[in-house]
């Protein structure tokens, strides 16, 4: 009888090496597949960096209802485009009851820029208009009076002819209104500003052309002189104008 001899030890070594080789091949294949998927994601899928390019989102706070019926909410207004002009209002409260709005308004009325905007049976207490140079100091000043505020930002696209003219008119009118608070100033004459309106390019069509034309007509209809007592109502009007562009 013949016996066939098997070298078990050698077979076991071959199995180990085959296992190691298979494992290495699997690892290499997995790495290649992973790199391939990463390349596809990098090259094909878009990167969302809109928050870093020309988009400004204003500060906001969570909506809350207090025992006195007050509702405070943050306002988020997003504007696109790199070449923009920014205008800031500070919201000092959003109320369902007029009496509560009046109480907050009374705390800030003395500074001359405050007004109450009625919107959908609610009352928004606002102050403005501010620029990037003075809005933060205004927030601090309100805070010193115990009034919390939320920044509302409006941005106008300077590359758009209509928005560019609205921006220029707002800038000029804001200078007039601000000048009324200067020491020794009793009133500011508006005739030169009204004449300047007629020198602007005539735009006959475009989005919000009605808003622009209405603004021009309003400015040309201003009284000859403005005092600081007029500022609150005029700021209110400019707020309504800018709402058309949010």
Residue 111 CA to residue 228 CA, distance in Å, equals 10
Fold for the domain defined by 84-244: Alpha-Beta Plaits (3.30.70)
Helix, strand, or coil here: 10? helix
Tokens of 31: 């790495």
Residue 53 scores a pLDDT above 50: no
Alpha carbon of 98 to those of 60, 92, 238: distances in Å? 23, 14, 22
* Type and span of the H or E element at 94: strand 84-95
Q: What is the pLDDT of residues 131-178, one digit of tens each?
A: 999 999 999 999 998 999 999 999 999 999 999 999 999 999 999 999
Alpha-carbon distance 25 to 197, whole Å? 77
Q: Does the pLDDT of residue 57 top 50, yes or no?
A: no
How far apart CA 133 and CA 216 sit, in angstroms, is 27
First to last CA, the chain: 100
Among residues 151, 147, 152, 150, the alpha carbon closest in space to that of 103 is found at 147
Q: What burial class does residue 42 get, using C-beta atoms within 10 Å of its C-beta: 0-12 exposed, 13-18 middle, 19+ buried?
A: exposed
**In this predicted model, what pLDDT tens digit does every residue of 74-106 receive, in sequence order?**
443 434 446 999 999 999 999 999 999 999 999
Q: Where are the alpha helices (DSSP H) in 185-245?
A: 191-197, 209-220, 231-243
Q: What are the residue ranges spanned by the domains of the chain?
A: 84-244
- Please tell me the pTM assigned to this model: 0.67
Identify the three-state secondary structure at position 85.
Answer: strand
Give CA–CA dist 63/71, Å, rounded. 7
């Amino acid at each position: 009888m013949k016996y066939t001899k098997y070298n078990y030890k050698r077979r076991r070594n071959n199995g180990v090496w085959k296992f190691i080789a298979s494992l290495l091949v699997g690892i290499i294949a997995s790495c290649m597949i992973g790199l391939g998927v990463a390349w596809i994601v990098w090259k094909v899928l878009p990167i969302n960096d809109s928050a870093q390019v020309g988009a400004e989102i204003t500060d906001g706070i969570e909506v809350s209802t207090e025992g006195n019926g007050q509702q405070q909410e943050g306002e988020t207004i997003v504007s696109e485009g790199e070449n923009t002009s920014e205008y800031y209002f500070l919201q000092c409260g959003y109320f369902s009851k007029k009496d509560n709005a009046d109480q907050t308004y009374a705390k800030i009325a003395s500074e001359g820029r405050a007004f109450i905007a009625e919107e959908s049976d609610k009352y928004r207490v606002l102050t403005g208009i501010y620029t990037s140079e003075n809005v933060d100091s205004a927030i601090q000043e309100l805070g010193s009076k115990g009034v919390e505020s939320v920044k509302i930002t409006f941005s106008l696209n300077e590359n758009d002819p209509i928005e560019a003219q609205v921006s220029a008119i707002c800038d000029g009118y804001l200078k007039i209104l601000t000048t009324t608070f200067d020491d020794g100033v009793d009133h500011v004459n508006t005739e030169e500003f009204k004449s300047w309106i007629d020198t602007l390019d005539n735009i006959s069509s475009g989005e919000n052309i009605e808003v622009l034309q209405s603004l021009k007509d309003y400015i040309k209809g201003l009284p000859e002189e403005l005092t600081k007592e007029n500022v609150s109502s005029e700021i209110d009007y400019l707020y309504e104008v800018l709402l058309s562009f949010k």
